[in-house]
Structures are given as structure tokens and as C-alpha cells.
Amino acid sequence: MKNNMPLRLLNICRVSSNEQGEGYSLEAQNQANHEWAKRKGYTIVDTVQYIETASKQKERKRFREIIDRLRKDTTIDGAVFHKVDRACRNITDLAMLEALETEKNKQIFFATQEFPQNAAGRLSVGVMGVVARWYTDNLREEVNKGFRGKIEAGEYPHKPPYGYLTVKESKDSRLPTPDPEKVENVRTIFKLMATGQYSIDTLREELFKRGMYFSAKTRRWTRSHLARMLRHPFYIGKILWHGQIYEGKHEPIVSEKVWQKVQNVLDGRSNTKSLQKRSFTYGHGLIKCADCGYNVTAETHKKQYTYYICAQRRHTDHVEKPAWVPEQKIELQIVSLLEKLVLPKDIYDWVLEYLKRSSIQEVSDVENELKSLKRKISESQKTVDAILLRAAQAQDSLADGFMRLAQERQSEVTLLQHRFEQVKSGVQEDNGRPMKILELTQDLSRQYVTFKPPQKRQIANSVFSNLELNGVSLCADYRLPFAILAKNANRPVEYARQDSNL
């Protein structure tokens, strides 16, 4: 960047299709970014606006194109976003922005959030990135919460398994109903299996012989179709969701007695490998062998102890013979890597203070909206009252018209009140969430052991990259922004920004 020239910036406005509400619209962002640039004396050379669609891939492609342009175009000194959460939807985004700053010497600004140009400032960008990330995850959780409510009420918000059709009960309720064309197939399959005379493979043959095809196109049943069907509690009226069984509202099509018999047959048959496949917490290629680069895989010994080892352990290109590492040992090392994310107290306090201040700002925005809604509600209510008074005084022939008008206006009031409640509950939910999230990161190492395997895997995957098993020790890199946390944790704070002075 040249000192005597105003910074030339790309103005980037980003909004997702479901949040084009007030304060977030592209136009509002665009205007705020322009005003900010004017105040700072910077030049906006171009504006890129985009609405995120449902397609994550398209969204990522678009973001990458913008980043690419910033990298290559030497006539642009940097970019301005409205807020950190507009810029970083996830950790990859943040990493790309970081790289722009460190590798290409571009400057990234956020029009509504000022960050001091020092270690703590950069750290808070990182933390805000974590916040943005957790917000997205929380949204998913909210959706899941909606699912949970439905499932607890016995409804099934997904596509039901083979043998059922989804019938619309009402506007937002669907009930799976037995499919008259397939229900007998399901019953026959269960009955045959319950005899104990078939394996999955011989059952496939039998079905084919009987002309009981999976579909007109795919005549043969696959092993996984059958394996999944025969284990599915949906057929006895139950719903399996996140490892728990709920009572469904739908009609069972297999008796519990037959279903249980089938389970016993399947359990007793140790050679039906496909059903015994267990999912290991740190399997799925999460960890690589440091020696040969292949995946680390797991095995269960004596039915309860899980050990991890290089999947290519017999290959000769190992310097040392790969070791069997107990899961416990892997987990302890992950926990100690997570402990490195704990910030020193002064930085923690600083970031917390920052988050508090920015959330107060947002709360005051919302309070303004609440005030204006309240005013609108009371004005509209007065109008309704006036119309009702007119109706009471009017002749019969006119009274009906006034009553209709009053009703219309009354429904407007109801809508406004609804909006008011929504905004109000939004404040209570959101207020303090970023702080909680920061606390959560700080507490992650202690919480970690209480999580279920899929959560553990998700966390390990989002915090670390290049997890490698070297002998019995686990090595890892931190992904951004955790890398920033780990770098700053338990270390003296450098307050000077160490970049080149041109």
C-alpha cells in the first residue's frame, strides 16, 4: 500500500436468502460500507453483492472468486465487509481472509466493527470467526430442536423408509402411512428372516426367485437395503433419532414379536459383517499415519477395548512397526491439545469486554425496533377502537362495513404484536450468546469427554487439521481461528503488529 494514496477497496455485501430482513439487506450493507469509506477517506473501486443460495457449493465458489480477484488485482488494496459474520461464514473463509492479509498484504475492514491493529485485535477477529461459526452450528441445532419437537410428538419429519408413503395431514403435518403396494413385501421379508433359515444373501436370492423385486428398475434387493430394513424400528411404530427411540404416531406394519425374532437371528449370526460395522470415534480417516500417510483405523479387542493403528500396518515402508494405540490414549492427547486453547486471563478479559460492548450495540438496535413496533401497535389499536365506535353509532346498513374494516385492522395489529414478540424473544436468546460461546471454547477441553462420539469427531475435525499418529503420540495443526487462540494462549502478549512498514 502506498501512503500518499487513499486505500482502494472492494466493497463486499453478502446476505443469505432467509435473512434479508431489516439491517441486513444488501442495500443497507452497501450504504453503510460506502458511508464508512467516505468517513475514513478510502475509495471504493467496485461493489460486489451477492445473495447466498441454498447451494453451499455455489456459495463457496462465489466467495472464492472474490478472494481470487483480491489476490490477483494489484489495483485493489483490500476489502470492506459490513461485519465479521458477513465475511466469515466458516473457518475456511476466515483462513482465506487471513492469508490475504499475511501473504498479499491486503487489508480487510469491517465497517461496523473496528479492530485494533495488534495481536489482541487480530485475535478478536479470530474469535468473532468462531462466533460466526458457532452461530451457524447453533442454527442447525435450532432446526434439530424443531425436529425433536416433532419427533417427540410422534411425527416423522424425514422421508419414511420403504413400505410407507407420506400423507399430508394438514398444512405442516405429514404422517407416514403404509404403502398398499409395498406393505406385503415388508411383512414377507420379516417373516422369512424370522424363520432363521436365511442369511441376507440367501434371502436376496429367495426374493428374486419369488419375483418380489425392489422396484421395476432395480429388481434385486441390495444387502444394505435389507440389512437396514430388518434393523429399522420404524416398522414396529418406533422412531430412532440421534440414538434414542421415540414412540411414533404412524401405523406399525410388523408385529413386535416377529421384529424381535429377526433381531435375535441377526444378533446370533456373527458372519453378517455388514451389520456389525461399528463407527469408531476417531476412524473415518480423521487421523493419518505419520509414517506412511495412510488412514489410521480402529479395531475392537475383547469386545470392549478400541485400539487404533495404521491401516497399512503390514507395509514395509514403516520406519518403525506401527503400534496399537488405545482410544483412551488418543482422547487424552486431544484433550491436552484442546487445553492449549485456554487464553491467558488478560486476553480473555479483553475479548470478553469487546464482545460485551458489541452485543450492547446490537441490543440497542433491537430496542429501537421494539419501540417503533410498540408505537405502531398502539396507533393501530386506536384506529381500530375508533372504527368500532363508528360501527356502534352507525345505522345497521353501514355497521357491517365498519365491523369488517375493524376486523381487517385488528389482524394487522395481531401481526405487529406477533413481530414484537419475535423480536423480543430474539433479544433474550441472542443477548450473551457470543460470550457464552467464547466461554465454551475456553471450557472445551473439560466438556469434551462428556460429548458423544459424533460430536467428538466433529469437534476434532473443526479444531484440528493434519491429525497424525506418530508411534503412540498424536500431532496436529490447529485450524483457524483456533490457531490464533492456541498461539496466544499461555504466552506473553505481543502488542506490536509485526508486519512490514512497506
Q: Do residues 466 and 481 touch, judged by C-beta distance below 8 A?
A: no
Closest distance of CB 478 from Zn ion, Å: 23
Site for Zn ion in 43-72 (CB under 5 A): none
Q: Which is closer to Zn ion, CB of 319 or CB of 496?
A: 319
The stretch among 55-63, 74-82, 275-283, 294-302 that binds Zn ion (CB under 5 A) is 294-302
Closest distance of CB 322 from Zn ion, Å: 6
Closest distance of CB 299 from Zn ion, Å: 15
Closest distance of CB 14 from Zn ion, Å: 42
x/- track of binding to Zn ion for residues 296-335 (CB under 5 A) = --------------x-x-----------------------
The stretch among 284-292, 299-307, 352-360, 418-426 that binds Zn ion (CB under 5 A) is 284-292
Please give the single-letter amino acid code of residue 347. Answer: I
What burial class does residue 190 get, using C-beta atoms within 10 Å of its C-beta: 0-12 exposed, 13-18 middle, 19+ buried?
Answer: buried
Closest distance of CB 302 from Zn ion, Å: 24
Q: Which is closer to Zn ion, CB of 56 or CB of 321?
A: 321
**The three cell numbers locating residue 203:** 434371502
Q: Which is closer to Zn ion, CB of 312 or CB of 358?
A: 312
# of chain residues touching Zn ion (CB under 5 A): 6
The stretch among 19-27, 55-63, 206-214, 293-301 that binds Zn ion (CB under 5 A) is 293-301
Please give the single-letter amino acid code of residue 351. Answer: V
Q: Which is closer to Zn ion, CB of 124 or CB of 312?
A: 312
DSSP conformational letter for 117: S
Per DSSP, the residues of 232-243 read -GGGGTEEEETT
Strands 305-310 and 8-16, bridge-based pairing: unpaired
Q: Which is closer to Zn ion, CB of 77 or CB of 291?
A: 291
**Phi and psi angles of residue 428, each rounded to the nearest 5 degrees, phi first:** -65, -35
Query: Quick check: bond before 481 cis, omega within 30?
Result: yes
Query: How far is residue 208 CA from its own chain's centroid?
Result: 42
Q: Which is closer to Zn ion, CB of 78 or CB of 322?
A: 322
Q: Do residues 163 and 179 touch, judged by C-beta distance below 8 A?
A: yes
H or E, element range at 68: helix 56-72
Q: Do residues 197 and 246 touch, judged by C-beta distance below 8 A?
A: no
Cα separation, 35 vs 27, in Å, equals 12
Q: Which is closer to Zn ion, CB of 292 or CB of 399?
A: 292
Q: Do residues 341 and 482 touch, judged by C-beta distance below 8 A?
A: yes
The stretch among 49-57, 139-147, 291-299, 419-427 that binds Zn ion (CB under 5 A) is 291-299
252: left (phi over 0), alpha (psi -120 to 50) or beta: beta
Closest distance of CB 285 from Zn ion, Å: 13
**The three cell numbers locating residue 331:** 482422547
Q: Which runs of E-coded beta strand occur in 1-113?
A: 8-16, 43-52, 78-81, 107-110
Q: Do residues 1 and 75 touch, judged by C-beta distance below 8 A?
A: no
Closest distance of CB 313 from Zn ion, Å: 6
* 292 belongs to the binding site for Zn ion (CB under 5 A): yes
Please give the single-letter amino acid code of residue 325. Answer: V
Three state DSSP letters for 366-393: HHHHHHHHHHHHHHHHHHHHHHHHHHHH
Query: How far is residue 232 CA from its own chain's centroid?
Result: 27
Report which residue's Cβ sits closest to Zn ion.
289
For cell 439487506, name the residue. Answer: 25
Closest distance of CB 311 from Zn ion, Å: 7
Q: Which is closer to Zn ion, CB of 132 or CB of 289?
A: 289
Q: Which is closer to Zn ion, CB of 238 or CB of 288?
A: 288
Closest distance of CB 316 from Zn ion, Å: 11
For cell 430496542, name the residue. Answer: 367
* 291 belongs to the binding site for Zn ion (CB under 5 A): yes
x/- track of binding to Zn ion for residues 85-114 (CB under 5 A) = ------------------------------
Closest distance of CB 298 from Zn ion, Å: 14
Closest distance of CB 337 from Zn ion, Å: 21
The stretch among 36-44, 104-112, 240-248, 286-294 that binds Zn ion (CB under 5 A) is 286-294
Q: Which is closer to Zn ion, CB of 241 or CB of 294?
A: 294
Q: Which is closer to Zn ion, CB of 323 or CB of 335?
A: 323
* 266 belongs to the binding site for Zn ion (CB under 5 A): no
Distance spanning both ends of the chain, measured CA to CA: 7
The stretch among 190-198, 285-293, 385-393, 446-454 that binds Zn ion (CB under 5 A) is 285-293
Cα separation, 100 vs 97, in Å, equals 5
Q: Which is closer to Zn ion, CB of 310 or CB of 355?
A: 310
The stretch among 226-234, 252-260, 287-295, 362-370 that binds Zn ion (CB under 5 A) is 287-295
Per DSSP, the residues of 456-476 read HHHHHHHHEEEEEEETTEEEE
Residues constituting the chain: 502
Closest distance of CB 75 from Zn ion, Å: 49
- Report the interface residues with Zn ion, using CB under 5 A: 289, 291-292, 294, 310, 312
